[in-house]
Structure 1
């Protein structure tokens, strides 16, 4: 099982690995549809990859599924685990781009793949064939790499799948596959419920391959929840595919509860880092987009026959492009999830329903992010910097043309929010007693936790250390709870922020 680490460190390690390890191999650097005939109405469009995990979002008809398929088709696999209903061992164009007589793909469609080692491959569809997959000497034309596609069929329950009852009525006759040991741990972490064992029964015939999952030896896919099944298929693919595989996941949020999104993103990044995977995901889910690091996000926009791909888009702007509406009266932009949790704890229930808090990372980018949010939504935006922000950034707010719609303020204290929380924990014995009471810690447990916190070198490890010390699985849960306690204990220091938000909502500013 991959090592667990804080989100900032995980993202940093993935980015560093992309620039070093991935760049030296033949992972996918970009895929393009050229100037020739249109493929599904698309031409002159190029999708570039800059991070091991890519989250592709955008409205319908922006080519997300098309480019997802073309990414898988960049490679040749000796035996794709997820391929079913085919007599081949690898994905080909006929798998993704079927047609009827009246919509037959025209010859002259141009596809171009660039790989991270600098190599390129360009194909132009012929009258009958896309390309020769295997050369005359028996070697594959495309680079050899594991390639998997996790499609929407995962949401179809077992009882709706034709022939499943007949195939698996006697499971003793079916081949049993032992899943990776870490699958049950990862599934338990995302689902927040215990799993002691997961394995599957598999069979294959001329029509395809079939699988029935067994959970804790208490129930199978016939009685599993939709989220349980979807997560198992996604995680098992990530864990069972060949190391270094390229894996495409269509509409990752299908069947999943919004509360699972942040943990799922962390789990996927941990597996990607450990197994050197390249994962490409499509989504329409606002919750999933908000849970993803900005380095992974790409927004697709269509103009005529061409698709433009925007890297690291403003999240709310991307969500607005998908839904076309916003129920938010005020946007708050801050630096990270810790700051967002502290701010959220200041709000009343009514305010939480109409105030959208987004964390964007670098403090130097917040003003530009606020401008983008205001332009996209025509709503007021409040920038809340960390307590250690430089004075010149605060002063820049007054120079804005839209200064009446974009306001700025900082969190209490003159340090990072993590350091502010740590100092509050050390200072407030009453809050410590409440934490010990809530989570069942004795004096020795708390003393051991204090000792670890006192030698902490990276402030971003604060909640990871707290989570381990409190014996919890959900990082988000402990972050929100601790921030809630601190904001209540230090309520006088948050009074200015609360008043500014109230004034903006009341149109007093």
Structure 2
């Protein structure tokens, strides 16, 4: 089943328009690293107020997070870019350039600022903004945290004036993320200034328990929400590895919460992640991958990052736009004995622009060790190019093309494929006329070609969309061998067994 976010598309559109219109009191528009670690003249733009940074370990995700934080004087550069004597000599002459909004400095336009490391120290413009930073240490269990050592005792006690019920807005937000009732939870100020807080919870039977018995994810979410809800408008939220300690559903809900906060409080959030689930609620322009000292904008499968960097066993990587294009190409490959499918991998990129750009980078990168091609949808506005190894599938939209080609054949008086298609759709051979009628009715009433196969599956009795797609592709292959050969020729031009 396709993912459906609880964040409405209208809100996504409204927030995107707000960024485009620069309707913020404070906002970080753009960061350019030149150089920082291995990055040279690489730029990230923040085109949506919640931005995900993905990439392999050591790819530079935390460098982006640190660079963003260092735009503001409240974040110490050493938190992200510590120098260790002569072992970090490469830090000399590091520079970060910023384009940002600060209406207290310029009421009408964005401003440009810089942070640089020269003469063994950082120098920065003093730009102020409230920044909340949540590192990976937030999920360290309470019994392993030094600040809670005095709480781990039967003699621990605080007066009632240090015990507070969680605010209702915190309860509402945190329990939506965690999926549990938090109405009887409290926070305890362990020290005089309230910087160290211990949480308490309660079972349905009213039995109280302390944070020492919380799950790491539960504790970190409540404390993050406590902090975020206390922030003033136009704050910046930085989160390392947002999925740390969280169930996949809670990870999705946490990102949805950040989008909600961006709407309510005009805040901006940037987080790093290794999780595909964290990307699901976000638009494509809100996602950047950092890998091999390069940035790529656009939604893609986190697993595909290994293909971008050449960290795959396959001799040929194929980049396509989406799941259906991946199924289509893999189906063609499987029918050709001249192609060793075990040495070819197809990766979806969630968009034509990123598919083409990562293919170009992959083939220009001498460290990848294997070749790649890009196969775009027929209606892509990107240009195909033999030189750049970019090709296009036949037809326009892949789903509609395959569907209509099969439909034309099963409606032909001389065609006998409807029987085979009926069996492939998990129905009895005798049901072929009913199946044919359903297929024609769906095509007649369909408004969104992306839903064609799921609509067929539902009308046939909740048959999986994957089963329906596979059935149509298999029938199409037998009917159009010349088209199959055309698609496979793209592969053979670059690699053959």
Q: Is the shorter-chain TM-score for this pair beyond 0.5, marking a shared fold?
A: yes
Indicate if the aligned counterparts of 1:7 and 1:266 stay in contact, CA closer than 8 A: no
Indicate if the aligned counterparts of 1:261 and 1:288 stay in contact, CA closer than 8 A: yes
Separation (CA, whole Å) in 2 of partners of 1:114 and 1:225: 40
Indicate if the aligned counterparts of 1:202 and 1:212 stay in contact, CA closer than 8 A: yes
Say whether 1:233 aligns with 2:228: no
Q: Secondary structure at the match of 1:261?
A: helix
Q: Secondary structure at the match of 1:262?
A: helix
Give the aligned partner of residue 274 of structure 1. Answer: 264
1:93 to 62, 66, 77: 77
Indicate if the aligned counterparts of 1:30 and 1:48 stay in contact, CA closer than 8 A: yes
Unpaired segments ≥5 residues, structure 1: 77-89, 133-140, 344-354, 386-391, 415-457, 460-478
Give the aligned partner of residue 496 of structure 1. Answer: 472
2:46 to 34, 46, 49: 49
1:293 to 264, 283, 300: 283
Alignment of 1:333-344 (within 5 A): none
Indicate if the aligned counterparts of 2:115 and 2:122 stay in contact, CA closer than 8 A: yes
Separation (CA, whole Å) in 2 of partners of 1:96 and 1:380: 37
Say whether 1:28 aligns with 2:28: yes
Compare 256-265 and 54-63 and name the one that shifted more: 256-265
Q: Secondary structure at the match of 2:198?
A: strand
The offset of 1:75, in angstroms, is 2.0
Give the aligned partner of residue 153 of structure 1. Answer: 137
Give the aligned partner of residue 342 of structure 2. Answer: none
Alignment of 1:124-143 (within 5 A): 124-127=116-119, 129-131=121-123, 142-143=126-127
Q: TM-score, with normalisation over the residues of structure 2? A: 0.60
Separation (CA, whole Å) in 1 of partners of 2:39 and 2:354: 35
Give the aligned partner of residue 188 of structure 1. Answer: 175
Separation (CA, whole Å) in 2 of partners of 1:193 and 1:499: 48
Give the aligned partner of residue 474 of structure 1. Answer: none
Q: 1:172–1:25: structure 2 CA closer, same or farther, 3 Å change rule?
A: same
Give the aligned partner of residue 318 of structure 1. Answer: 305
Separation (CA, whole Å) in 2 of partners of 1:163 and 1:275: 31
Q: 1:404–1:277: structure 2 CA closer, same or farther, 3 Å change rule?
A: closer
2:99 to 114, 120, 134: 114
Indicate if the aligned counterparts of 1:370 and 1:406 stay in contact, CA closer than 8 A: no
Separation (CA, whole Å) in 2 of partners of 1:270 and 1:188: 14
Aligned residues: 393
Give the aligned partner of residue 259 of structure 1. Answer: 249
Q: Secondary structure at the match of 2:244?
A: coil
Say whether 1:210 aligns with 2:196: yes
Indicate if the aligned counterparts of 1:213 and 1:220 stay in contact, CA closer than 8 A: yes
The superposition leaves residues 194-215 of structure 1 with CA deviations (integer Å, 9 ceiling, x where unpaired) of 3324432234589x94232223
Q: Secondary structure at the match of 1:271?
A: helix
The offset of 1:281, in angstroms, is 0.7
Separation (CA, whole Å) in 2 of partners of 1:370 and 1:34: 21
Unpaired segments ≥5 residues, structure 2: 102-108, 329-344, 405-446, 449-454, 489-497
Give the aligned partner of residue 15 of structure 1. Answer: 16
Q: 1:209–1:286: structure 2 CA closer, same or farther, 3 Å change rule?
A: same
The offset of 1:67, in angstroms, is 2.4
Indicate if the aligned counterparts of 2:239 and 2:270 stay in contact, CA closer than 8 A: yes
Separation (CA, whole Å) in 2 of partners of 1:246 and 1:91: 11
The superposition leaves residues 57-97 of structure 1 with CA deviations (integer Å, 9 ceiling, x where unpaired) of 12233332122122122124xxxxxxxxxxxxx33224443
Separation (CA, whole Å) in 1 of partners of 2:256 and 2:266: 15
Q: 1:488–1:101: structure 2 CA closer, same or farther, 3 Å change rule?
A: closer
Separation (CA, whole Å) in 2 of partners of 1:279 and 1:11: 14
Indicate if the aligned counterparts of 2:349 and 2:355 stay in contact, CA closer than 8 A: no
Say whether 1:308 aligns with 2:308: no
Q: 1:107–1:326: structure 2 CA closer, same or farther, 3 Å change rule?
A: closer
Q: 1:178–1:92: structure 2 CA closer, same or farther, 3 Å change rule?
A: farther
Compare 143-152 and 114-123 and name the one that shifted more: 114-123
* Structure of higher RCO (CA pairs closer than 8 Å, 6+ residues apart): 1
Give the aligned partner of residue 81 of structure 1. Answer: none
The superposition leaves residues 28-56 of structure 1 with CA deviations (integer Å, 9 ceiling, x where unpaired) of 12223335xxx545554433222111111
The offset of 1:279, in angstroms, is 0.5
Q: Secondary structure at the match of 2:123?
A: coil
Q: Secondary structure at the match of 2:30?
A: strand
Q: 1:272–1:499: structure 2 CA closer, same or farther, 3 Å change rule?
A: farther
Q: Secondary structure at the match of 1:279?
A: strand
The offset of 1:104, in angstroms, is 5.9
Alignment of 1:352-371 (within 5 A): 360=350
The offset of 1:371, in angstroms, is 8.4
Separation (CA, whole Å) in 1 of partners of 2:460 and 2:133: 41
Q: 1:492–1:108: structure 2 CA closer, same or farther, 3 Å change rule?
A: closer
Indicate if the aligned counterparts of 2:298 and 2:354 stay in contact, CA closer than 8 A: no
Q: 1:104–1:193: structure 2 CA closer, same or farther, 3 Å change rule?
A: same
The offset of 1:223, in angstroms, is 0.6
Indicate if the aligned counterparts of 1:34 and 1:110 stay in contact, CA closer than 8 A: yes
